[in-house]
Amino acid sequence: MTKPSGQPSPRHTHGSPSANSRTVLILAIIAIVLILLTGAVAAFIILDRSDDTADAAASSTTTVTETAGTTSVPAVQSPAPAPAVPASSNPSFQSADGEVVCEIGTQPAGTWGGSPDPPAVACLAFDYTGPGVQVAPCPSNLPTRQGGVAITPGGTVVRTLCTGGQPWRNYPSDDFPVLAAGQVNRVGSITCTGIDAATIACSDDTAGTGFTLSESNLDESARSAPAVPHTGVPEPAGGSEHTGIWQRKGAKVTLNPGGSGEFHLNSGAMNSVTYAITWTGSPSRVDMTITGRTASSGSMEYVMGPGDVVTGTVNSGEMTMTGLKTTSGPHSFAVCNAQTLDAGGCQR
């Protein structure tokens, strides 16, 4: 049958995108966008956690605040100083420079000054360079340590030490507390004083003997710390009961209220010397510092000068004087108050 002329033929859809194809394309694009967003969120979370970890690590690290004009440096902790000798007695100690080491009442090893008895107090200057003394050789070829000095139980000062090693009972001596300048350490009748960073002086207060030791010198008399007659371990308050006159044949000590006084020594009618003093005291002790010589005649063996300290140990009206310097070495004697003199004391 023939188609009527002028009517269009039906159009074919073959080769053109359908509605289903467009839907698939749109879904694919949305999926890609979601994948990209998910990746971005994950990256953000990872970076944020890394920053938190770094902040936590930084907060646990010690830092030094930087101020204007300075450079930040790591904090450095200073080493702890050597412990000071406590107020109570300490049997082992050393000078601040570590050159002089001492022990009191520990029976250190070695032979001190040839004495068979363990010393009451002993000190050693390891690198002693001062004057030495002539002594018998040490047994068994042991070295003679010229820097060794001790006080025997009987109060005698002896020099040199025979030992093959360190004699100290509380070894090692590097750990001994420091006896600083002006500090005083007492064990029984033994008193040791830090004179300065390199010097220690020890005395037997009963025997009136002592020594002063440093790396460069050994003096067989006990000095006191300059300008501070008695410091370190505090004595009980008191001392005013000692004012007045203390004397014996050839010696007279006048202790005035307020801390001034006079120290007079004589030998016969022609030989005498008088010293001005200042003094401080406690119930059992008087420290007298020479301020100058006020008079002298003839010839006296006493050779004390300003700053020298004489110590008086008081017991039942008798005061034992130690620290007296003479041309023949340290000297000591006792003076008595009026009541003890009347009872016949101080006649020796």
What pLDDT is recorded for position 231? Answer: 38
283 shares its domain with 176: no
Closest CA to 318 of 345, 342, 344, 281: 345
Please tell me whether residues 279 and 179 are part of one structural domain: no
Contact yes or no for 148/161 (Cβ under 8 A)? yes
Last residue of a domain, one of 219, 253, 281: 219
Do residues 251 and 203 both lie within one domain? no
Read off the pLDDT of each residue in 202-223 and give the average, rounded to a whole number. 88
Flag whether 336 is in a domain.
yes
Query: Is 116 inside any structural domain?
Result: yes
Which of 24-38, 78-92, 262-276 has maximum average pLDDT? 262-276
Q: What is the mean pLDDT of residues 78-83?
A: 45
Asked if residue 27 belongs to a domain, the reply is no
The pair of structure tokens assigned to 186 is 């007492």
Among the ranges given (4-18, 141-155, 211-225, 266-280), the one the predictor scored with the smallest mean pLDDT: 4-18
What is residue 59's three-state secondary structure?
Answer: helix
Burial 88-100 (b: 16+ CB within 10 A, else e): ebbbbbbbbeebb
Q: Has residue 123 been placed in a domain?
A: yes
Residues 281 and 335 in one domain: yes
Question: What total number of domains does the chain contain?
Answer: 2
Among 64-68, 137-141, 206-210, 293-297, which is the least confidently predicted range?
A: 64-68
In-domain check, residue 114: yes
Look up tokens 């990209």; give the residue: 36
Q: Of 14-23, 198-207, 265-274, which gets the smallest average pLDDT?
A: 14-23
- Are 212 and 245 contained in the same domain? no
**Same domain (yes/no): 192, 251:** no
Residue 283 domain flag: yes
Asked whether residue 210 is domain-assigned, the answer is yes
289 and 195, same domain (yes or no):
no
Q: Is residue 160 part of a domain?
A: yes
Partner residues linked to 124 by β-bridges: 101, 148
Find the mean pLDDT for residues 29-37: 77
Question: Phi then psi for 95, rounded to 5 degrees?
Answer: -70, 165
Q: Smallest Cα–Cα separation from 338: which of 324, 322, 319? A: 319
Asked if 183 and 248 sit in the same domain, the reply is no
Closest CA to 216 of 189, 198, 202: 198
**The domain containing residue 203 runs over which residues?**
92-131+142-219
Closest listed residue to residue 291, CA positions, set 222, 229, 338 = 229
Residue 74: predicted pLDDT: 41
Q: Based on the domain organization, do 214 and 248 belong to the same domain? A: no
Q: Which two tokens stand for residue 309?
A: 């300290």
Residues 98, 215 within the same domain: yes
pLDDT of residue 17: 47
Q: Are residues 208 and 254 in the same domain?
A: no
Q: Which of 279, 285, 262, 89 is nearest to 205 (CA)?
A: 285
Q: What is the largest CA-CA distance in the chain?
A: 183
The answer to whether residues 164 and 268 belong to one domain is no
Please give the structure tokens belonging to residue 185: 């350490």
